A and B are shown apart, each in its own frame.
Chain A
Amino acid sequence: MQTQATTPPLHRVFRNPWFLSSAFIAFMVGLPIIAVFYLAFYPEENIWPHLLDTVLSGYVSSTLILMTGVGSLSLFMGVGSAWLVTMCKFPGRKMLEWALLLPFAVPAYVIAYVYTDLLEYAGIVQGTLRELFGWSSYKEYWFPEIRSMGGAITMMALVLYPYVYLMSRAAFLEQSMSLFSVSRNLGHTPLQSFFRVSLPVARPAIAVGLSLVLMETLNDFGTVDFFAVKTLTAGLYDTWLNMGNLGGAAQIASLMLIFVVTLIYMERFSRRKQKQFESKNQGQSLEQFQLSGVKAAAATFFCLLPVVTGFLIPISVLGYYAYHYFEVSWTSKFVSHAMNSFTLSIIAATTTIVIGVTLAYSKRLNSSGITSLLVRFSGLGYAMPGAVLAVGIIVPFAAFDNALDDFLRVNFGVSTGLLLSGTTFAIIFAYTVRFLAVSAGSVESSLAKVTPSMDMASRSLGRNNLSTLLRVHLPIIRGGILTAALVVFVDCMKELPATLILRPFNFETLATHVYQFASDELLEQSALAALIIVLVGILPVIFLSKSISSTRTKK
């Protein structure tokens, strides 16, 4: 165990501007979460006896199976491909490096529709098989059922593994080459070095990626609903919408937080006893292994598979439908929908990064328990299912609006109406609360790698904390920040449930437009908009991916 630097006395902590700002952030972000707890105290009826008697055990076990499956599959694809493209040379590596991020831009519910369309009985795959083998009914052969737990695991892993890929690649890129060289010089094979050196060093970042994957999985409603997999989230919506029991749903949401706190704890646990520092962002380029023959082909295949299945196939299907149904689906409003999506996502990404850096840095400055706690608490928004979070946002916003309106009416005779509710500000707020965990986690893991001697040097040269952050830390952790910004941006582009509930009149994003049709399983008519989401989403993906890899090679 490392001994911590002695913590400053409490009264000094409370006066510290960094502490105050993180406390303020935690309060703001905490409002919706507190509101959900508040709702949980007023259930319409006590639903637990019924749930315990009937469906709850099923919800919990499906959730665990789904999370385990998606987690393992994402780790396998994400870490494996990240290491290959970072450490090895093989055909197509340069392109695959950014192409591996592409599935990230495809919303899970969209990929689920696409594969169902392809793989179900009436789909082209089984249809072709029947032609070939002369089968005439579904009883004559076995084919995996896409609408199943296995299908849900595969679909989600295909679009979520990029989290793991991104985080682990950033970590591998940031790793000091010397570590790896030492390991090689001591006679380890590349593979041994990977398992004994690279992987353990990258573990904190991989853990961040994995916890994001698991949170997303826990939160998903579109896919599990479509595949009739009864997870806790499905049960939560069922309790709310079909039993008309919002309080009961909020109680389930609170139960889900136990899952999340466990996840966070596991992530912390995996980082225990770990402190390695990079003294600087070394200018040396990575020495990569030149793979050849079968090995090279295998590496190419391994990295290509997720890109093809997670991106190329869905894109082709969407493209086909978009083309064939162009007449019915094109609307002149697409440009404004795309602008809405893009603008909201950019603002939200910027906001979450600024706040994420503030949180992570104030934690670095005073590692007192209370600051850590505040930072942890701020990340809980990610754990709430989107629609529930939206209701949690409506509660304090509307209360504030109405209180202000009443106050002004009584004292000044003017009415402000609803100032914040039902505005794009509410949506941006929702995105920020929801995805803060993504940026804070990512920034924190990058920051943790910067040695404290940098801080000391900078402070002894007379810089204050802020200028140290701006001049010293930020340039070093640029890669981590860009990664976080990218993830948040794409997440916001795809975000649906909260946007639907909070948006102003006549306000559409690409995702809400897709949903109109997708909610009725009209894949053909939603294909064009889905395609645009993906296309708008991949531009920054490619751009940022390039700048992340350039952090490595820049002198």
Chain B
Amino acid sequence: MKRLIPTSLVIAATAATSVQANEEVNVYSYRQPFLMQPIFDAFTKDTGIDVNVVFAKKGLTERLKREGKNSPADLVFTVDIGRLSEVVEAGVVQGVTTPELENNIPAQYHGPDGQWYGLTTRARVIYASKERVAKDAIKTYEDLAKPEWKGKICTRSGKHPYNVALIASMIANNGEAETEKWLKAVKDNLAQKPQGNDRAQVKAIKEGVCDLAIGNNYYYGKMLMDEEQSAWARSVNIVFPNQGDRGTHVNISGVSLTKSAPNKDNAIKLMNFLSEATAQQIYAEQNFEYPVKPGVGPSALVASWGEFKADKLPLNEIAKYRNQAVKLVDRTGFDN
């Protein structure tokens, strides 16, 4: 426990920066620690390197930018391709490549120059009520705009990065004008104003507020694991949209090496570790995400939802349309 007297603080801070105690790696994370901790623990056990974390949902990129070359951070963990490309655009990360990363992470899941690496993928799926929606009644994201779903759809805010990425992928595939029409029509089909998180939408289906919801696939697994929430999950079928054409929209969570990385070697060790089977398995088993490493399967539960075809559009493409997507949400008044 630190003594928090400001003067001793300054001294302590100086001491901390000038004396490197045992081996460590410093992480800025946009992902909650409780999702990452088991993997970090495994890494520490394996290598003896301590992992120090600062978690926040915003502001870490600005912090990195301002701290500049003296920043203590080695790695940034992000969710969503939008956030990843933001970190890259801010110019606070550096490219890195190792044989492990090359072998473990398929080309479409990392930046061309190694400035970011995807570690897991997640599919943006449609949850359909088992009771009220016939099998195969909904097959594509485009179907969500059909008038027959009027007053039957629930989703979280259109501004949430997961939805922004989905809308951006629609723009990339169908063009902006078409997507604007689609978004308007989906808005007209909403059962309630966008609110709550992905799980809350499934809960709303269970309650009969709506019949269809948009959400990430891993929440299905998480809900099944929770005593109270498993009933919500059991009330829906999981639908992977657009299997007949381009495939389901997927997003990633990933990691980048900072420009300033004071513990670069350890940071790269951790990156490699995250791309290897052990860590990939923890991601799959505990968070129900899809591992990126070929050959590492999803958890048995996730596998039971079946194989699916993912949209092959490079994620960098999707990131390009982010800003347009956000503005479409404002223009169509989607969240109002």
Contact = CB atoms under 8 A, between A and B. Distances in A.
A420 to B, nearest CB: 7
A243 B323 contact: yes
A506 B144 CA distance: 44
B14 A416 contact: yes
A399 interface: yes
Interface in B63-100: 63, 66-72, 82, 86, 89
Interface string A497-511: 100110111110000
A50 B197 CA distance: 26
Contact of B193 (A228, A241, A244, A421): A228
Contacts of A340: 4
Given A500-B57, A504-B54, A505-B52, A421 B66 contact: yes
Given A387-B59, A418-B70, A521-B200, A428 B157 contact: no
Given A137-B208, A228-B195, A521-B196, A417 B1 contact: no
A351 B161 CA distance: 39
B53 A391 contact: no
Contacts of A420: 10, 13
Nearest to B89: A244
Contacts of B336: 58, 230
A227 B336 CA distance: 12
Contacts of B58: 237, 240-241, 387, 497, 500-501
Contacts of B187: none
Given A54-B330, A500-B57, A503-B54, A394 B62 contact: yes
A339 B1 contact: yes
A340 B336 CA distance: 40
Among B14, B58, B159, B194, chain A packs the most CB atoms within 10 A around the CB of B58
Given A246-B62, A419-B13, A238 B69 contact: no
A506 B53 CA distance: 5
Contacts of A334: none
A425 interface: yes
A244 B323 contact: yes
Interface string A97-128: 00000000000000000000000011000000
A405 B194 contact: no
Contacts of A415: 17-18, 70
B33 interface: yes
Interface string B10-25: 1001100110000000
A417 B69 CA distance: 9
Contacts of A524: 228
A516 interface: yes
B63 A501 contact: yes
A237 B33 CA distance: 22
B34 A516 contact: yes
Interface string B188-226: 000001111101100110111100000000000000000
Interface in A195-249: 226-228, 230, 237-238, 240-244, 246
Contact of B6 (A347, A398, A516): A347
A100 to B, nearest CB: 31
Contacts of A121: 204, 207, 209
A259 interface: no
A476 to B, nearest CB: 30
A243 B56 CA distance: 18
Contact of B17 (A51, A237, A398, A416): A416
A471 to B, nearest CB: 28
A419 B16 CA distance: 10
5 contacts: A54-B331, A228-B157, A391-B63, A415-B17, A524-B228
The 5 A-B pairs of least Cβ separation, nearest first, read A417-B17, A505-B52, A501-B59, A398-B66, A54-B330
